[in-house]
Amino acid sequence: MTITIIGHGYVGLVTACVFADFGNKVWVIGHTKEKIDKLKKGNPIIYEPGLKELLQKNLKTKRLLFTLQYDHAIKESEIVFIAVGTPSKENGEADLSTVYDVVRNIARFLKKDLTVIACKSTVTVGTNLKIETIIKKHKNKEAKFVIASVPEFLREGTAVNDTLNPDRVVIGSESKKAINLLLKLHQPINGKRVIVNLASAELIKYASNCLLATKISFANFISFYCQKTGANVNHVLEAVGLDKRIGKNFLSPGVGYGGSCLPKDVRALINIGDRLKINTNLIKAVEEINLEAKNNFLKTIIKYAAGKNLAIWGLSFKPETDDIREAPSLHLIQKFLDNGFTIKVYDPVAQNNIKRIFKEMINYAQTPYQTVKNADALVIICEWNEFKEIDLKKVKKLMSKPYIFDGRNIYQPEEMEKLGFKYFSIGK
């Protein structure tokens, strides 16, 4: 099968590489020449485990083609996927302008044979109907098309495996032809098939992400209680998560959620609900608690840090990715600077992305040990595995003062006390 994917971010590029690896011919359309040139040379631009190897393998087979032009790709393809970003506007509404720009370009080159236009971008309910209207307005009279919504559920850091082995493949469409063609394309992929209408498919993604965000905020909410009462949040939530109706996943307290999905999707669902006059207090509280988690951590550091020289480990919003979009580190670093702290940071892969924002306002280390040298306190924001396996005795010797503020609870308080650290964690 020949398909086109418009967009080469985490969703678009991973999806393209996986489908090409199944033997399909896959066009990827971008809008920046510099990025397309890098992709043609096998540079994936983003950090994602296993992606570079998959990209280079399928470039060699010539099943994966990158272009800035729509004409050849759209005319050849049976399915065209839209996988562009839908960031938040200031009011929380999803910005769909790029989606609609892409759709107008698709419409111009549709062929006489039927083309499935499948939206992978996270879009609000009713968007795919608007896509259909725009295409009808801009296409040639002879061109035939049908609309589908195929939301993605991959996690950054495990995106390749999640694309190959999802929990479910959701296909939303009113067209049996679209459903059958998409089922055929996804045949090598595991996961339960969920066939729904367009509105349901659009809402499933928002509902899923908002529930995940709710579990994280609930974990932090319980950590506030634990901090005040002497309870141990890890013990409490471990026992709660053993209930099969609840589950352990995403019941981990910390400095809040971030990334390209949860924050914007929570805000978008609030915005949609307010417009539909639905009571959105539940998810508004989720967002408020997320900010409170960051600020509580900040207040603890400001109150108890032994000096103004801070070392920070972990800058990405989660391990195994270089994505810093809405990462807690951005909020905290800015607040530290506002409070007069001197900062040295380290992250295995996200450091360059942070440097583009903070430039020379902060210092950058090449190893975790360089980061903590002469530091008055160490702040852990992202739980990379190398921090869990670090030589803590060496860390203590390098530090000016043995203060650690652990925003991800990666160490045991009893062990840290034995080593001589002043150890502050979440909900303990």
Which amino acid is it at 416? M
Annotated binding site: 35, 86, 122, 153-156, 205, 250-254, 258, 264, 318, 325
Specify burial of residue 155 (Cβ count, 10 A radius: 0-12, 13-18, 19+): middle
Which amino acid is it at 286? V
Instruction: Quote the pLDDT of residue 428.
Output: 83
pLDDT at 65 over 90: yes
Cβ atoms of residues 234 and 222 within 8 Å = no
Cβ atoms of residues 364 and 386 within 8 Å = no
CA separation for the pair 160, 194 (Å, rounded) = 21
- Where is 40: in which H helix or E strand? helix 33-40
Q: CB under 8 Å to 200, separation ≥6 — which residues?
A: 172
User: Average pLDDT for residues 55-65, to the nearest whole number?
Assistant: 97
CA separation for the pair 378, 363 (Å, rounded) = 14
Which residue, 26, 30, 324, 50, is CA-closest to 165?
50
- Domain residue limits, the chain: 2-196, 230-424
Annotated binding site for substrate: 153-156, 205, 250-254, 258, 318
Cβ atoms of residues 204 and 228 within 8 Å = no
Torsion angle of C-alpha atoms 343, 344, 346, 351, degrees rounded to 10:
70
Q: What's the CATH class of domain 230-424?
A: alpha beta
User: What pTM, to 2 d.p., does this model score?
Assistant: 0.92
Please list the active-site residues.
261
Q: pLDDT digit string (tens) for 10-58? A: 999 999 999 999 999 999 999 999 999 999 999 999 999 999 999 999 9
* Two domains, one topology: 2-196 and 230-424: yes
Instruction: Quote the pLDDT of residue 143.
Output: 95
Q: pLDDT digit string (tens) for 211-237? A: 999 999 999 999 999 999 999 999 999
Superfamily (CATH H level) for 2-196 = NAD(P)-binding Rossmann-like Domain (3.40.50.720)
Kindly give the pairing relationship between strand 192-196 and strand 115-119: unpaired
